[in-house]
Amino acid sequence: MRHLFTFLILAFATISCTPGVSPPITSEISTSDYTPGRVVWHDLASPDPEVSSQFYKAVFDWDAVPYGEGSKKVWIFKKGNTPVGLMAYYDSKNSTGEWIGAISVPDVEAATNTAKSQGATIMKSAMNVENRGMISFIQDPQGAHISLIKLSNGDPEKKPAEVGTFLGQELWSNDPSNSAGFYSSTIGYSTSESEMGDGEYTVFQFNGENCAGMLQNPAPTLRSHWVPYIRVSDVNETVAKAKSAGARVLIEPAPEIRNGSVALLLDPTGAPLAVQVYNP
């Protein structure tokens, strides 16, 4: 997976050197405020951008808008006029696609150094990327991939997710106790625990605000993962669309799992994602 992160960074760096093609991410999503601890952006590393583009269009009505050409090409997923994520191509015989969430931190270099001292593997050190800001990529001690970011113009507005956009991020950890300690040290999270079904559910909080969730990994075929959630209006309809578009369903909607409101998918490139009905 190391070259996955290298390719993502190279894609961002090389495209920023090409006049007129740098995707206008921060100018379209940023405000003047920062909200540390929140997952504020999502990147998809895809071995087949055409397949990924078709899937996310069919299931969530996202348009993949291209920027650059050849090896410098990336895509911005948009829901209507709203950017929801970036996709870059990478070539791998042994790996699959993956969504990588970006956690807002005040100082990317400091947080990255702390992560390393706590046992993380630094996949790509902190670097400044035009039209994004400072960013690094890490693999936590349990194998989950995440990026640390300080967007150049501030974080997106904190507001309820619209249908068809990212609802939140959840860490499916093979060792939740270890993960809780790691993210408390690296990000500054506090934790709150509650019972959920047969196990314990942890909420990561920053300054009293809920930022992400964590549970014991319920999918033994997967390593530890940060799993992105996308809000949908009808989970069964979405699952049917996803199947038709080439997804594999790992966890079907079931009454005993969050009242049948959620499902876990692997998109056609193997990237895990969850879909959930959310009615606040």
Tokens found for residue 17: 């050197």
Within a domain: 47 = yes
pLDDT tens digits, 217-245: 887 667 899 999 999 999 999 999 999 99
Verdict on whether the full-model pTM lies above 0.85? yes
Distance, CA of 237 to CA of 222 (rounded, Å): 25
Q: Do 136 and 178 share a domain, yes or no?
A: no
pLDDT tens digits, 39-94: 999 999 999 999 999 999 999 999 999 988 777 789 999 999 889 999 998 876 66
Distance, CA of 165 to CA of 169 (rounded, Å): 12
CA-wise closest residue to 114 among 182, 205, 22: 182
Q: Do 119 and 177 share a domain, yes or no?
A: no
- Give the residue from 121, 151, 181 where a domain finishes: 151
Which CATH number is 99's domain given? Answer: 3.10.180.10
Residue 249 has φ and ψ, to the nearest 5°, of -95, 115
Q: Do 188 and 128 share a domain, yes or no?
A: no
Q: Do 176 and 84 share a domain, yes or no?
A: no
- Give the residue from 126, 151, 176 where a domain finishes: 151
- Give the residue from 107, 127, 151 where a domain finishes: 151
- Residue range(s) defining the domain that contains residue 76: 2-151
Count Cβ atoms within 10 A of the Cβ of residue 208 and give its class: 0-12 exposed, 13-18 middle, 19 or more buried.
exposed
Within a domain: 227 = yes
In this prediction, residue 14 carries a pLDDT of: 40
Q: Do 120 and 231 share a domain, yes or no?
A: no
CA-wise closest residue to 268 among 240, 248, 251: 248
Distances (CA, A) of 199 to 44, 143, 202, 216: 30, 21, 10, 7
Within a domain: 267 = yes
Distances (CA, A) of 19 to 16, 64, 253: 7, 20, 46
Domain count, the chain: 2
In this prediction, residue 197 carries a pLDDT of: 64
Average pLDDT, the chain: 88
Mean pLDDT along residues 9-23: 46
Within a domain: 213 = yes
Choice among 155-159, 211-215, 227-231, 236-240 with the minimum mean pLDDT: 155-159
Within a domain: 158 = no
